[in-house]
Amino acid sequence: MGCSPSKNARKELNLYLDYKANDEKIVDTKIDENILKIFNKIDINKRNISLSEVDFVINDILPGLNIDRKTVALAYKAADVDQSGQIELNEFKRLMQLLQIYSKFNKLFEKLDKNHDKKISFEEFKEGHKIIGMKSTNNEKLKQEYKIIDEDNSGYIQFDELCLYLAKKYYVEAQISL
C-alpha cells in the first residue's frame, strides 16, 4: 500500500475533517492572515504549491513537529481534495492541519513499530494497543480490530492505514487524546 492513502481512504478522511469542521469547528477552512503568509512564503509560482515546495520548507515553518518525507507526502495527498497534484490556497489550511495531525500519528506508529520495519505486526499491535486508545485485552477482539485497521489485508498495518483509523477515532469518536 505504500505511504499514500487510497482514493477511498483520502475521501473518507476528508469527509471526517469536513464533518468536524461543520459539527464542532475543529477544522476551520477559513483562510486567515497567517495561513496566507505561510502559503505565499512557500508558493514560488504564485498559484499553487507542489509537494517538493512543501517538503523543502516544512520543517522551517513547523520546526517543532520534525516531519519526515512520508508524513509530508501522506498529508499532502490527503489535503489535495481536487487531486490536481498541487495544493491551492483553499486546500492549504487543511494541509497545515493534516501535517500536525499526521506528525502525532507518526509518533504513535513509531511507538507501535518496535522492530522499525515500517509496518506493525499483530504481535506489535497486541503489545502496544493501549497507545492508540484501545482498552481491550481480549485476544479475539484485538484480532478483529487489527483486521479492521489492515485495510489492504496484507497482514500488517501500514502508516496510512493507521492514520485513517486514528483519524476516525480522533475526529468522530474523540477517544484518543493526542
pLDDT (tens digit per residue) in 108-143: 999 999 999 999 999 999 999 888 888 878 899 999
Is the pLDDT at 50 greater than 70? The verdict is yes
Predicted pLDDT at 56: 82
More confident residue, 123 or 36: 123
CA distances from 170 to 9, 55, 174 (A): 15, 26, 4
Predicted pLDDT at 167: 78
Any idea how long the chain is? 178
Task: Find the mean pLDDT for residues 46-51.
Answer: 88
The band of 103, judged by pLDDT with boundaries at 50, 70 and 90, is: confident
Grid cell at residue 109: 506508529
Q: Please tell me the distance from the alpha carbon of residue 27 to that of residue 76, in angstroms, as a whole number.
A: 16
Task: Find the mean pLDDT for residues 63-84.
Answer: 85
Looking at the chain, the whole-number percentage of residues with pLDDT higher than 70 is: 78
Region of poorest pLDDT, from 71-85, 118-132, 157-171:
157-171
pTM for the predicted model, two decimal places: 0.70
Query: In sequence order, what are the residues at sequence separation of 6 or more whose Cβ sits closer than 8 angstroms to the Cβ of residue 41?
Result: 57, 61
Q: Is 69 left (phi over 0), alpha (psi -120 to 50) or beta?
A: alpha
Task: Find the mean pLDDT for residues 20-49.
Answer: 68
pLDDT (tens digit per residue) in 90-101: 898 888 888 888
Predicted pLDDT at 7: 55
